[in-house]
Amino acid sequence: MNGNWWKLGRGKRVLLSLAIIASAFAGLNWSDRARAEAPEVAGPPIEYDHLSSEKAEPYISFGKPPVRDEEVHAVKRFPDVRSCLIRVEQSKNRPDLRQIDWSRMNTKSDIQVCMFRIFSSYQTPMKAKQWFISQKMTGVSQDEYQGKTELLRSVRAYNYPRKTNNIYVSSGGVGGLIKLNLIYVEEFKVVWRTDNSIYATTYESSSL
């Protein structure tokens, strides 16, 4: 403890301690708001082609298998599309893939792996656009561009935490509060190859 602390009178030390405790509780309340929350979805589910899994469609990023520890761990955490969903949806015969469990998306890799699972299940850019819109994201757009060897198609979407008061990468406590206040925009993107397989899924966040 810094020596200056003890130079304060006992009464001032008590008042300062109470102020610190009150700030901590206030931070907890704010962190609850900062946790990633799944938006309420309405209407019928978006029809999917199949339920993707690591066995059927191994996760790749820009055409390459995962090598970083964070990516490898995310692949193990989410071995199939069902594992990315909220618990009540996981055991259904026809799960609603809009019901992603954002509260378990703790890292960039978690989000990218689960987007890979979900969009591999949907297969088409049009359904990816519908999915992003169902998650209350904005600026949803589709694009085509020439890759190194083939034409690639992409869909991207954005979230502005200061407008929505929500961040999609989950983090409770002080970390969530910091992210909510620092992150200006979250960008989500999925890229398809010409054979409708996923070439890459990306999540990025930036601050002003």
Please give the pLDDT value at position 130: 97
Tell me if 70 sits within 8 A of 107, measured CB to CB: yes
Q: Among 140, 120, 111, 123, which Cα is nearest to 202's? A: 111
Q: Mean pLDDT for the chain?
A: 83
**What does pTM read for this prediction?**
0.80
Q: Is residue 183 part of a domain?
A: yes
Q: Is residue 22 part of a domain?
A: no
**Total number of domains in the chain:** 1
Q: Is residue 187 part of a domain?
A: yes
Tokens of 60: 């790749």
Please give the pLDDT value at position 162: 86
Residue 76, domain extent? 35-206
The least confident of 6-15, 55-64, 118-127, 194-203 is 6-15
Query: In three state form, how does the secondary structure of 9-73 look?
Result: CHHHHHHHHHHHHHHHHHHHHHHHHHCCCCCCCCCCCCCCCCCCECCCCCCCECCECCCCHHHHH
Please give the pLDDT value at position 172: 53
Indicate if the pLDDT at residue 40 is higher than 90: no
Binned at pLDDT 50, 70 and 90, residue 41 comes out as confident
Please give the pLDDT value at position 25: 39
- Which of 22-36, 37-51, 62-76 is modeled with the greatest confidence? 62-76
Q: Among 1, 31, 11, which Cα is nearest to 174's? A: 31
* Rounded-to-integer distance, Cα 26 and Cα 137, Å: 28
Q: Is residue 12 part of a domain?
A: no
Please give the pLDDT value at position 171: 60
Dump pLDDT digits (tens) for 2-31: 455 455 566 555 444 444 443 443 444 433
Q: Is residue 168 part of a domain?
A: yes
Tell me if 76 sits within 8 A of 109, measured CB to CB: no
Q: Is residue 159 part of a domain?
A: yes
Query: CA-CA distances (angstroms) from residue 61 to 26, 101, 151?
Result: 40, 22, 17
Strands (E), 72-116: none
Q: Is residue 139 part of a domain?
A: yes
* Rounded-to-integer distance, Cα 138 and Cα 36, Å: 16
Dump pLDDT digits (tens) for 74-123: 999 999 999 999 999 999 999 999 999 999 999 999 999 999 999 999 99
**Rounded to a whole number, what is the distance in angstroms from the first to the last CA of the chain?**
35
* Rounded-to-integer distance, Cα 91 and Cα 138, Å: 30
Q: Which amino acid is at 10?
A: R
* Rounded-to-integer distance, Cα 17 and Cα 19, Å: 5
Q: Is residue 8 part of a domain?
A: no
